[in-house]
Amino acid sequence: MLLVYVPKITPRNRYVFKTIFKNYLAVEYTLTSDAAIFAEHKRAKFSYLTRPLGEELHFTADGLLEQSGISEKALQSKLIQDTPTIFPVRNETLEFDVFAATFYMLSRYEEYLPHMRDQYDRFTAKDSLAAKAGFLKLAVVDRWVLLLKKVLQEKFPESAFPKRKFKYLPTIDIDNAYAYKHKGLLRTIGSIGKSLLKLDFSRFATQLKVIFGKKSDPFDTYDYQLALQKKYSLKAIYFILIGDYGLNDKNLPYQNRYFKSLIKSLSDYADIGIHPSFGSNKDRSKLLTEINRLKDIIKTDVKRSRQHFLKLSLPETYRNLLETDIEEDYTMGFASELGFRAGTCTPYPFYDLDGEVECKLTVFPFQVMEATLKYYLNLEPDVAITESKKIIDEIKLVEGTFVSLWHNESLSEEEEWEGWRKVYEEVIEYAVSKENFNA
């Protein structure tokens, strides 16, 4: 049992110690503010405050975890053992406050501060500390915890630290179940008319073939996905957009029997989550309606979510999810860049910085999305594979959890997505490979 002394137990230090020692290191610990109890403890222990109590193992506290409220921080980045760090302190044990740094990244402190947002009202990668300091593609929090683990192992060699295992979790968003099938008369006529107005006769021909059953729908890639999942013994999570039709929400109507049948079929071999519509992002009643629709179809509770367009506003988005009994969210990542939005590839509990409270919502960060590779970074398939492997290498290095984000339409091998099945297949094969890799 590891004993940790702090001068005062606060919501912030309680959260960060619990997250580090439970979620990352999987070791038992106790937090105390009683100096006498700490002094009497004869086994592994350390103190966390501005100055040590005596000769114990000591980590210098910056002060962030004793504070409440949100204010601008003039953060400096310092390289320690090839890893960028923040919150530098004068300390012989570790020259940065690993606990304050971890809290800053996981709480998404910077996203509560005034900042510019993009056309979809999202916090952008380029405005993040990680991008500005050059560590967006590094799992810095996981690296920081490994630095902490190394110190503790050297000081207390009798203490056991379970070895982590790399995990891979494929996730797929269904924004539009089919390209042309089952759309209804008006939408079908409108789609055909659009092709003719643009003189896109190739697309027009494909539409007719699909409508009349002469060709498979381009977005109907579900058998292919299932075959890959069976081949590599993977269980995917599908996030289903089931909101009302709108400018940014264009899936099939939830009442459509073909759509319902597809969702039921997917639920037989994968986990199902809600893909809250763009229109529901700031409307809890709409969100609840969509969750209930999905629940009625799959006949079980809906506990997972990922926001459509990755539209995440803290803390409002997560508060809405908590109010609708969602337990896991997979939105934490950037649309425009690969990497680690929260600096980590380990699932962790959400901390509501406005309310200064840990919440019963687990955040699952994702690191690679095919739309990022193609649309934002404009990469060719071969380069996209190389860049994705670099991210996987980083996650394997820290033995974290790799979460990929794909869409059913990007696996069609048609038009703009020609050649992208190879990307998906090689990403999966590389992720599950047991061979050595270059990190």
**Is the same domain home to 251 and 396?**
yes
Q: Flag whether 161 is in a domain.
A: no
Dihedral sign (CA 317, 318, 320, 326)? positive
Helix (H) or strand (E) holding 210: helix 201-211
| Closest of 88, 439, 412 to residue 222, by C-alpha | 412
Same domain, 236 and 193: no
Taking only the tens of pLDDT, the chain with its 439 residues reads 899 999 999 999 999 999 999 999 999 999 999 999 999 999 999 999 999 999 999 999 999 999 999 999 989 899 999 999 999 999 989 999 999 999 999 999 999 999 999 999 999 999 999 999 999 999 999 999 999 999 999 999 999 999 999 999 999 999 999 988 877 666 767 677 776 777 777 777 777 777 877 888 999 999 999 999 999 999 999 999 999 988 899 889 999 999 999 999 999 999 999 999 999 998 999 999 999 999 999 999 999 999 999 999 999 999 999 999 999 999 999 999 999 999 999 999 999 999 999 999 999 999 999 999 999 999 999 999 999 999 999 999 999 999 999 999 999 999 899 999 999 999 999 999 986 544 4
3-state SS class at 214: coil
Residue 439 is assigned to a structural domain of this protein: no
Residues 222 and 203 in one domain: no
Predicted pLDDT at 188: 67
Query: Residues 120, 223: one domain?
Result: no
Residue 206 has a pLDDT of 77
In this structure, the answer to whether residues 173 and 87 fall within a common structural domain is no
The CATH number of the domain holding residue 412 is 3.20.20.370
In a domain, 97, yes or no: yes
197 and 272 share a domain? no
Comparing C-alpha atoms, which of 257, 273, 241, 272 is closest to residue 174? 241
The number of distinct structural domains making up the chain is 3
Same domain, yes or no: 253 and 210: no
pTM, rounded to two decimals: 0.94
- In DSSP terms, 204 is beta-bridged to none
Predicted pLDDT of residue 131: 97
Same domain, 317 and 282: yes
Same-domain check for residues 191 and 136: no
Q: What is the pLDDT of residue 209?
A: 76
Residue 439: the pLDDT is: 41
Residue 139, phi then psi, degrees to nearest 5? -85, 75
SS3 content of the chain, % helix, strand, coil (to 5): 40, 15, 45
In a domain? residue 46: yes
What is the C-alpha separation between 190 and 10, in angstroms, rounded? 59
Query: Cis peptide leading into 315, omega within 30 of 0?
Result: yes
Tokens of 378: 């404009």
In the block, which residue shows the tokens 């924004």? 175
- Do 55 and 121 sit in the same domain of this protein? yes
Domain that holds residue 356: 167-179+217-432
User: Which 3-state string (H, E, C) describes 17-43?
Assistant: HHHHHHHHCCCCEEEECCHHHHHHCCC
